[in-house]
Amino acid sequence: MAETLTKSTVIGLVPMAFAAHVQRSVDFYRLLGMEVRGSLRVPSGELKWVHLACDQAELMFSCASDPVIPSQQAVLFYLYSPDLIALREHLLANHVKVSAITYPDYMPKGEIRVDDPDGYVLLIGQSG
């Protein structure tokens, strides 16, 4: 029975979100250390889909067919950083608006908030 359960379960999850401009999202997430694992372009060369990853973090973006309205992005992404202070300084140096480091009960080592170009909320906690 255990063998049947093992074969009928999922083994991974990669969130896929809509982006107004996929290349702009790639450029932003590269600031977080993510790299392109796969992509799809239309004949004109425009990037329509991308799979980004680094270490244990993976995320896909697909070009939105409707306007992306930041106030309507009802999902947030939780990420981890081995050096939250350095990451925050790096983002600020690249003109990304970043919150101060907070220390909520569920993340006493520290957490920052960043909004990506399409309004998706990224909460980034100190790992370890």
At 91, which CATH number? Answer: 3.10.180.10
How many domains is the chain partitioned into structurally? 1
Residues 29-52 have a mean pLDDT of: 97
- The pTM of this model reads 0.85
Residue 26 has pLDDT above 60, yes or no: yes
Pair of tokens at residue 47? 């990037």
More confident residue, 72 or 38: 38
Cα–Cα distances in Å, from 21 out to 18, 43, 49, 53, 110?
9, 16, 10, 18, 31
The domain containing residue 78 runs over which residues?
A: 2-126
CA nearest neighbour of 67 among 21, 3, 128: 21
Residue 93 has pLDDT above 70, yes or no: yes
pLDDT at site 9: 76
Cα–Cα distances in Å, from 83 out to 24, 96, 121, 124?
25, 17, 19, 10
Q: For residue 73, what pLDDT band results from cuts at 50, 70 and 90?
A: confident
CA nearest neighbour of 112 among 95, 91, 94: 91
CA nearest neighbour of 15 among 55, 51, 67, 66: 51
| Bridge partners (DSSP) listed for residue 35 | 53
